[in-house]
Structures are given as structure tokens and as C-alpha cells.
Structure 1
């Protein structure tokens, strides 16, 4: 898929996944973009002097990706059932990406992954409505900012979670 910017569900180091061949979006994006993406992320983390907090976003170039930019966000780590503060942190991750992308004039299309639903443990069925609501509310307040915002899914279970949330009335 081609988009001006893609979202990476990053870890707090922003340096990519440290598990070789792990099938996560962080690994896939870093591998496809090439080593300069990791260099950019290292520069960011070094300059800020701390790991990336949950619910914020940073931007880098996309290098070898079919996207000019990568928005890196760290979603909440959930063990068991998510709490209200997990949903707030997850929504913050989505909003932070939109806020940051909106500052870059040539980002007109944006592709989101399912933030926190992999190894970070957020149940897909609970994460999808949070994501749809956060993005839908942001777009409703700024309807002309982006030409297209999509949710790119990795597994059938991700797609089913979004479809179920939409069937239940969660507006995008």
C-alpha cells in the first residue's frame, strides 16, 4: 500500500524490534526502510535523552518504503483486560500521530497499523473501537486536512475486529 505516511507501532527505544524475524510491524518497517531509519530514530532518542513515552509520536523519513514518512508511536502495554487508562493512552497514540502528520503539509494520506495489539497485548476487539473513535473524532474536527486515512491490517483477526466495531456502530 502506498501512503504519504505510515504509522509504526514502536517500542520505547524507537530502534525497531530486537527479535530477529519477529512478524511485527516494527520489524517489517525497519527492515523494509533500511538502516537509515534506525539511525534517524537513534538521533531522536539521543536528542531527547529518554525513551519515547506512551501516547506520543515522532516522525522520520521513510527511505525505501512506499511512504515518504514514518510516524512512530508507543502504545500501551496491556496485561489482561485493558483499563480506562489503557484506552486513553491508546487514543492518545492515534491522536498524536494525526497531530504530527497534520503539521507536515505534504502528508495527505496516512496508513495506521493496529497499535498495541501485537506483543503489547491490547486485545484487538477492545482496541479497534478505541482507534476508530479517536481517528473519527479527530477527522470530524478537521474534515479537510487529509485526503485519506486508512487502517492497514496484518491478520484476519485485525480486520474482523475493525469490521465488528463498525457493525456495532463505532464511527470512523
Structure 2
């Protein structure tokens, strides 16, 4: 089956579940790139609900093919920093990293981003992992019965990601000024993720820049808190042996290079 037909069949499956989007979907040209954009949009919009294996099998096949086409980056092979070989800095797409767990910075609903094709890390991770990730998050949050507070962490499978697991954390939303509570909550995000990773015997974790995007935490302050919290944790006896600071913007890369 060619790529276009494969994608269009997945789109039709989702449109049968969500017929209210048929009119908008009909406006997408029948090209691979546009139909793929439609598929990502529909996946972003779909609420957590039971998943049909008839959809999951071709979805997983498509996502695994795309994963290999993007190229998997082995986190264990990244060079360590001069001062500490347990720490590494890598600039790129976090969904390419092969590690025990990557960190997703979400909101308090912890269900992923529902804005079609939004550029946030939450959207990127859920889109690459597949609909199983939102379904598992939905079951966790239903059992919890209340929104996820800032500074804590949850663990799920990685599904179609190279990473085995995803650590989900909610960072603080910063107003006009960064408060002491904001700083404490951000440090707690890093500690909570590492503690949960250690609890499950994970050895490598890759962090995104928690709270620096939509939540407006100042980049330099956030990096200093992140590096400090991680270094302090690595001084404890823990199975976590490698922490990667994953950055996307040049600004963050420059800041972390200075700190590390």
C-alpha cells in the first residue's frame, strides 16, 4: 500500500468516529503532506476513548516507519559534558531520542495537546507516540480524579517512540514575575521525574525545557534550576546514570552550554 492511501484510510477511520470534522477534512488536498497534516490534526482532536486494533495496526506501522525515517539518536552514545560524563546536551527533536524515558511537559489535564498541529512539545510527543499514549493518560487521570498539580510526575509507556517510557510533568505557569513558588515547583518537576525513573529502575532520562514555552518561565532561570536539581539528584544513590538536557532553540542551547 502506498503512503497516501495508508494515510487516507487512517483519516477515514477517525472521521467515522468524529464525523463533525468531515467538512473541514474535505478541504485538505489529496497529497501526502496535506493528508498527513490532516491525520495529525484528527489525532490531536480525538478524545481518550477505546482504541480499535483495526486502526492501531496501520497507525503503528506508519509511525514506526516515520520514526526510522527521522532517524533514531542513541542517548547512550551522546558525548558527556567535560565536567560530568553523566550529563549530556543535545539539540534536536526529543521524539528521536532512544533513552529509557523522555520528559513531556504538559498541562494539568495531562492528556496531551488538543490544538491541531500545535508546535508545543506535548503535541510533538503525543503525535509521535500514537493515540495509545492519550488513552493511557486518560485512564491514569480518570483514576486520579483531579487535575495534575505542578511539580509531580506520571509514567506511561512510550509506544511508537524510540524511548521506552514517557515521564509526564506539569510545570508552573509564570505571570509577570517569577515567584519563589514557581521556582520550587519547577525544581520539583525535575526531582519528581528522576525519583519516578529511579523507582522503576530506569537508567537514562531526557528532559525538555520544562515551562519555558507556553508557560513563560524565563529561559536562563529555568536552565539554572534544571541543572541544579539534576546534579543534586545524581549525588544520591540511584539507578539513573545518564541525564540528557534536550533543547530545541538556539537560545537554550547557548544557555545550557554555559552552565554545563
| Structure 1 length-normalised TM | 0.92
Q: 2:182 is matched with which residue: 62, 65, 86? A: 86
Structure with greater helix percent: 2
- Spell out structure 1 runs of 4+ moving beyond 3 A: none
Q: 1:115 is matched with which residue: 191, 207, 210? A: 210
CA contact (8 A) 1:91 1:134 kept: yes
Aligned-pair distance for 1:48?
A: 0.5
Out of 145-154 and 92-101, give the one that drifted further: 145-154
3-state DSSP of counterpart to 1:114: coil
Aligned-pair distance for 1:102?
A: 0.4
Q: Is 1:145 equivalent to 2:239 in the alignment? A: yes
Match of residue 98 from structure 2:
2
Aligned-pair distance for 1:40?
A: 0.4
CA contact (8 A) 2:149 2:170 kept: yes
CA contact (8 A) 1:76 1:86 kept: yes
Q: Deviations over 1:124-166 (max 9, x none)?
A: 1110000000111011122x52221111111111112222334
Out of 118-127 and 80-89, give the one that drifted further: 80-89
CA contact (8 A) 1:125 1:165 kept: no
CA contact (8 A) 2:194 2:240 kept: no
Q: Unmatched 5+ residue regions in structure 1?
A: 167-172
Match of residue 99 from structure 1:
195
Q: 2:117 is matched with which residue: 16, 21, 28? A: 21
RMSD between aligned alpha carbons? 1.1
